[in-house]
Chain A
């Protein structure tokens, strides 16, 4: 093949690629410049070893204590926070989901406002919400429940509204033609279509909320996080070990059950 007939590598692509490289390089120079380089605490190795040995020799006695404040009760509390918080948000987000669904309102801007509101709620960190609720109802599990309940509206509302946007509008039209009232149309034509999706997303959010609920205690909003942070502060690493183990086991079991249920529903 003579070189004259060879296509030339497109210049624009090379140019674009270099721009991306340079931008990336600048970002990393900037990011690395802000990291303190004074190094690790001298005790880092020692503590890591202590934590590891704590995790591999957990404080089994802590699993159940007759006088309370043990691992099982902590996990149960965590589970309860996640269940109640998820349920509250699944319930409260329904009107927002319909508000944010494009096919449910005649004015498109209306749905847009709904979507923005939901993304606002989604971005508001749940821990900060929990901190604020602690100021309102006092420290404890209830503050955690309220924080999860409010924060999850953001994500569940978005997922629910996408489900509503995907429905077949035919049945609604048929119901309208029989002389049904708007609420009846919603109940008979829309709800049966979206319910499986709603339940599946609620379970998915429950999996996420369980993880969140296990850290809420770090700031005093109930659950297993509180004894965990106490154990860390008192450097009781074998207790930290058993709590971590407990969280991992609980989350794994709940993930498996919830995943099974979600598969069955869809």
Chain B
């Protein structure tokens, strides 16, 4: 369970990143955060594992405050939260397996991991995770030889190997084409349903959000302007809130091809 209690964030330049947010995400939910660019989606997500610091309020994860956590406690808290990035953030020159195993380093001493002495169970976990995202045959391939969709699945495997209880995904499909978008989102959904891992995803496109989410949270200028089940997240409702309908993947496809033909 993730609880936001009166969370606000003001950037040093005065921009309001988050504004008095009170949200509770229950275990096992598949929550999608939507909003225009700069609405605070990424800040929201990154404040959960404190890659970004908040300026006031508190975030409580499974009963303990991550806002208060320091040093070792913070690392242990982060260990339970997997994160998936828009640009995959894999070490491109390392093998797939090593990238997945790097999700395990929080569990062991520095010396042990630096010497590469991961226990057998860790290696098993890594292979299991790779199997789950259907990419196990690439285990010893260098990551930069994979396609974007494959790389994103590796980064999902990294979060799985981490044995995370929560997965945060920051625009996981923004750099992928429609087909691989579906594979990656299906993977996330399957993991959410089969393992019951709480999943919070930032998405730019409302149509994909509707397809996968159990609950949608809309942000604007750092404030929660919509919070409800998918059925309520209709186009009319969003047009009302944002003054225009949110983008869909199809819009972008049409726009892109229009641009291409213009060139």
Binding site for B on A (CB under 8 A): 168, 170-171, 173-181, 183-184, 187-189, 192-193, 195-196
Are B90 and A180 in contact, CB atoms less than 8 angstroms apart?
A: no
Q: Would you call A174 and B158 a contact (CB within 8 A)? A: yes
Interface pair A189/B114, CB less than 8 Å apart: no
Chain A residue nearest in CB terms to B114? A187
Contact of B105 (CB < 8 Å), options: A168, A184, A192, A196? A184
- Residue pair B91, A178 in contact (C-beta under 8 Å): no
Which chain A residues lie closer than 8 Å to B80 at the CB level? Answer: 179
Q: Is B157 an interface residue (CB 8 A)?
A: no
25 sample A-B contacts, Cβ–Cβ < 8 Å, listed by A number: A170-B88, A170-B89, A171-B89, A171-B91, A174-B83, A174-B89, A174-B90, A174-B155, A174-B158, A175-B105, A176-B78, A177-B51, A177-B82, A177-B83, A177-B168, A178-B78, A178-B79, A178-B82, A178-B83, A178-B103, A179-B74, A184-B110, A184-B113, A188-B98, A192-B94
Interface residues of B in 83-111 (CB under 8 A from A): 83, 85, 87-94, 98, 102-103, 105-106, 110
Instruction: Tell me whether B102 and A188 are in contact (CB under 8 A).
Output: yes
- A200–B8 CA distance with the chains assembled, in angstroms: 47
Q: For A179, list chain B residues within 8 Å (CB).
A: 74-80, 106
Closest B residue to A176 by beta carbon equals B51
| Interface range on chain B (Cβ under 8 Å from partner) | 20 to 34
The yes or no answer to B199 lying at the interface (CB within 8 A) is no
A183 touching B93, Cβ below 8 Å: no
Instruction: Report the separation of the CA atoms of residues A177 and B74 in the bound assembly, to the nearest whole angstrom.
Output: 10
CB within 8 Å for A181 and B78 given contacts A174-B83, A174-B89? no
Which of A168, A179, A192, A195 is most buried by chain B, counting CB atoms within 10 A of its CB? A179
Number of CB contacts from chain A to chain B under 8 A: 83
Q: Which chain A residues lie closer than 8 Å to B114 at the CB level? A: 183-184, 187
Tell me the bound Cα distance from A111 to B51 in angstroms.
Answer: 23
- Smallest beta-carbon distance A89→chain B, Å: 23
Given A178-B162, A179-B106, A188-B87 contact (CB < 8 Å):
no
* Residues 55-88 of chain B, each 1 if its beta carbon lies under 8 Å from chain A, else 0: 0000000000000000000111111111101011
* Closest chain B residue to A190, Cβ basis: B91
Chain B residues whose C-beta falls within 8 Å of the C-beta of A171 in the assembled complex: 89-91
Q: Which residue of B lies closest to A170 (CB)?
A: B89
Q: Does B49 contact A (CB under 8 A)?
A: yes
CB of A119 to closest CB in B, whole Å: 30
What are the 9 closest A-B residue pairs judged by CB atoms, nearest first? A179-B106, A170-B89, A179-B79, A179-B78, A174-B89, A177-B83, A179-B75, A188-B102, A184-B105
A181 and B91 form a contact (CB under 8 A): no
Q: Which residues of B contact A173 (CB under 8 A)?
A: 51, 85, 89
A168 CA to B80 CA, complexed, in Å: 25
| Cross-chain contact A174 with B85 (CB below 8 angstroms) | yes
Knowing that A171-B91, A192-B98, A195-B93 touch, tell me 20 more A-B residue pairs with CB under 8 angstroms: A168-B89, A174-B83, A174-B89, A174-B90, A175-B105, A176-B78, A177-B51, A177-B82, A177-B83, A178-B82, A178-B83, A178-B162, A180-B75, A180-B106, A184-B105, A184-B114, A187-B113, A188-B94, A188-B113, A193-B92
